[in-house]
Amino acid sequence: MSPRVKIHRLHPEATLPRYMSVDAAGLDLTAAIDAPIVIEPGRRAPIATGLAMEIERGYEGQLRPRSGLARDHGITLANSPATIDADYRGHVVVVLANLGDHPVTIKPKDRICQLVIAPALQAEIVEVADASELTSTDRGAGGFGSTGKA
């Protein structure tokens, strides 16, 4: 059974999220803005979706960049993936960042990111007194790049 997401339009021109293909994992979200917004290289801008939503308990909404915007213009999300918690009911605003070399204009109704609904579990946190109580592994405390060595 699919999780249910209730959507409320906060802006008269807001577009309901939709899957753009039969097997798409993400719903496209669009800009619900009254005028174009220019994002200069190296800058970021909050872009309104004009939507509030209720995501079913036990799930989260993950906001992810659109691959075409990233490839063609260097546009990504400043906090990717961004999380919409199941108990959040406010306006969904997407912070776009321009990693490209040229200004990018976001126009009303432009597709700006994807929303993926995913299970969200809350972990039980168990504090241990000593690191020796953590299970040993081959990797151990190896950090950045430690798994790529032959």
Can you give the pLDDT at residue 142? 78
The residue whose two tokens read 């306006």 is: 91
* Short-list 57, 7, 13, CA closest to 31: 13
Q: Is residue 113 part of a domain?
A: yes
Residue range 36-45, pLDDT digits in tens: 999 999 999 9
Q: What is the pTM of this model?
A: 0.87
d(CA 46, CA 44): 7
Domain of 87, in residue numbers: 5-133
Token output for 30: 């669009």
Task: Give yes or no for residue 150 having a pLDDT over 70.
Answer: no
Considering its fold, how many domains does the chain have in total?
Answer: 1
Instruction: State the pLDDT confidence band at 144, using cuts at 50, 70 and 90.
Output: confident
Q: Is residue 38 part of a domain?
A: yes
Q: Is residue 146 part of a domain?
A: no
CATH of the domain at 37: 2.70.40.10
Q: Which amino acid is at 7?
A: I
Q: Is residue 66 part of a domain?
A: yes
Q: Is residue 150 part of a domain?
A: no
Q: Is residue 32 part of a domain?
A: yes
Q: Is residue 13 part of a domain?
A: yes
Residue range 119-139, pLDDT digits in tens: 999 999 999 999 999 999 888
Q: Is residue 148 part of a domain?
A: no
Can you give the pLDDT at residue 149? 57
Can you give the pLDDT at residue 143? 80
| Mean pLDDT score across all residues of the chain | 94
Residue range 70-96, pLDDT digits in tens: 999 999 999 999 999 999 999 999 999
Residue 76 CB-density burial (10 A; 0-12 exposed, 13-18 middle, 19+ buried): buried
